[in-house]
């Protein structure tokens, strides 16, 4: 037992060292430009963008709470904020690969069964995509005449991005609630796996899939809950979509607010359908493509870095504080267990 406690202690310390190592690498390489940009940004603009980034995390937390509290009544808004920050931390540390897994893991820690944790995560993604689609559609309607005159080919790309986003939403819903897909999974599994051990694993997996379908369907059929979740997701995107205008308005007082709002909605939805870990790289490409003709290369890059700070670095830092506190607590508990076993 003592060896087990010592192993857990060493594992958590090693994991903490790995996190610091990855963080050092990211700061030295990928994130250096963002921190240099912060140094050259006026205090007022920096505080405003930081406020918008924190406001998004708060709204995001309450949008998560609306989904999770259907299954866990004790799930609070602060828990939702920590969920968003926790997954943002692992999004950066794992280069996007661990975002969804970390979110599922957080819900599981809050005593939600695995199937419900996956269901909440799936619905969270669905409603986020629905909010992106709504703003992109509104932006295209408002700015259609401008794009038709100055960049007609861009309209086709935006529509393609919207269609792909809609397909993703439909696919996630179908995958989550379709009984036919579950039956197909059982049929294929029965043909492929014959041993008792593997069949047992398949049966357990099938029970999880069934629970997932019940979880998602339970929320989807409650229109009042769906409306509240949808409205929270619309609300949470507003602070993020205000950031480019907040970053550019000082040097470009003639910048049209609705145009800047519409362009960032197009950039986010297009980046979300271009294959890339967590939208890294694809977002930068689309953002600069849309904003450079409007404000020039220098200011476009500057505003993009500030946007990345508020939407990428700031949530990570909030999650980093949470993870440090969690690891510190776990290490202290394990040290106490080792001392107790030694007496």
Q: Which residues contact 2 (CB under 8 A, 6 or more apart)?
A: 338, 341, 342
Model pLDDT for residues 179-234, shown as the tens digit of each residue: 677 667 666 766 766 666 665 666 666 666 666 677 777 787 788 888 999 999 99
Mean residue pLDDT of the chain comes to: 83
Angle at 95 between CA 324 and CA 87, to 5 degrees: 45
pLDDT for the residue 37? 86
> What is the DSSP annotation of 170-217?
HHHHHHHH-HHHHHHHHHHHHHH--SHHHHHHHHHHHHHHHHHHHHHH
Model pLDDT for residues 257-281, shown as the tens digit of each residue: 999 999 999 999 988 777 654 445 7
pLDDT band at 100 (very low <50, low <70, confident <90, very high): confident
Mean pLDDT, residues 229-253: 94
> What is the DSSP annotation of 228-280?
HHHHHHHHHHHHHHHHHHHHHTTT-TT--HHHHHHHHHHHHHHHTTS-SGGGT
Per the model's pLDDT, the better-predicted residue between 336 and 207 turns out to be 336
Instruction: Please list, residue by residue across 98-127, b when 16 or more beta carbons sit within 10 angstroms of its beta carbon and e when fewer do.
Output: bbbebbbbbbeebebbebbbbbbbbbbbbb
pLDDT for the residue 44? 93
Q: CA-to-CA distance for 290 and 146, rounded, in angstroms?
A: 13
Residue 25 has φ and ψ, to the nearest 5°, of -60, -45
Instruction: Report the percent of the chain where pLDDT is more than 70.
Output: 80
Our count of domains for the chain comes to: 1
For the chain, counts of helices (H) and of strands (E): 14, 0
pLDDT for the residue 109? 87
Q: CA-to-CA distance for 165 and 136, rounded, in angstroms?
A: 10
pLDDT for the residue 237? 96
pLDDT for the residue 144? 87
pLDDT for the residue 301? 92
Per the model's pLDDT, the better-predicted residue between 8 and 331 turns out to be 331
125-134, 234-243, 277-286, range with the lowest pLDDT: 277-286
> What is the DSSP annotation of 31-96?
THHHHHHHHTS-HHHHHHHHHHHHHHHHHHHHHHHHHHTTT-TT--HHHHHHHHHHHHHHHHHTTT
Identify the domain containing residue 254 by its residue range: 2-342
Instruction: Quote the tokens at residue 214.
Output: 């019940």
Model pLDDT for residues 15-66, shown as the tens digit of each residue: 767 777 767 666 666 677 887 888 888 999 999 999 999 999 999 999 999 9
Q: CA-to-CA distance for 340 and 332, rounded, in angstroms?
A: 12
**CA Rg value for the chain:** 22
């Amino acid at each position: 037992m003592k060896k087990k406690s010592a192993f857990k202690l060493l594992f958590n310390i090693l994991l903490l060292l790995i996190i610091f190592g990855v963080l050092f690498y990211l700061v030295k390489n990928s994130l250096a430009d963002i921190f240099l940009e912060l140094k050259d940004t006026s205090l007022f603009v920096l505080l405003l963008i930081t406020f918008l980034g924190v406001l998004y995390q708060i709204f995001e937390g309450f949008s998560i709470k609306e989904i999770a509290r259907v299954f866990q009544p004790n799930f609070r808004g602060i828990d939702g904020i920590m969920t968003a920050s926790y997954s943002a931390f692992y999004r950066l540390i794992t280069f996007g690969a661990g975002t969804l897994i970390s979110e599922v893991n957080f819900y599981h820690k809050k005593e939600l069964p695995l199937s419900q944790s996956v269901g909440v995560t799936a619905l969270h993604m669905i409603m986020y995509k629905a909010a992106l689609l709504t703003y992109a559609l509104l932006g295209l309607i408002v700015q259609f005449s401008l794009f038709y005159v100055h960049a007609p080919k861009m309209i086709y790309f935006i529509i393609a991005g919207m269609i792909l986003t809609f397909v993703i939403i439909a696919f996630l819903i179908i995958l989550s609630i379709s009984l036919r897909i579950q039956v197909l999974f059982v049929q294929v599994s029965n043909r492929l796996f014959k041993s008792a051990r593997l069949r047992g694993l398949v049966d357990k997996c099938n029970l999880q899939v069934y629970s997932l379908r019940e979880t998602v369907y339970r929320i989807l059929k409650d229109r009042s809950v769906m409306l509240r979740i949808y409205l929270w997701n619309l609300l949470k995107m507003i602070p993020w979509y205000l950031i480019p205008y907040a970053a550019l308005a000082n040097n470009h007082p003639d910048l049209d607010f609705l145009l800047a709002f519409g362009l960032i909605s197009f950039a986010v939805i297009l980046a979300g359908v271009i294959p890339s870990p967590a939208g890294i790289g694809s977002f930068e490409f689309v953002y600069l493509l849309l904003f450079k003709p409007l404000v020039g290369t220098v200011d476009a890059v500057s505003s993009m870095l500030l946007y990345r700070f508020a939407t990428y670095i700031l949530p990570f830092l909030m999650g980093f504080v949470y993870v440090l506190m969690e690891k510190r607590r776990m290490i202290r508990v394990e040290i106490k267990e080792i001392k107790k076993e030694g007496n």
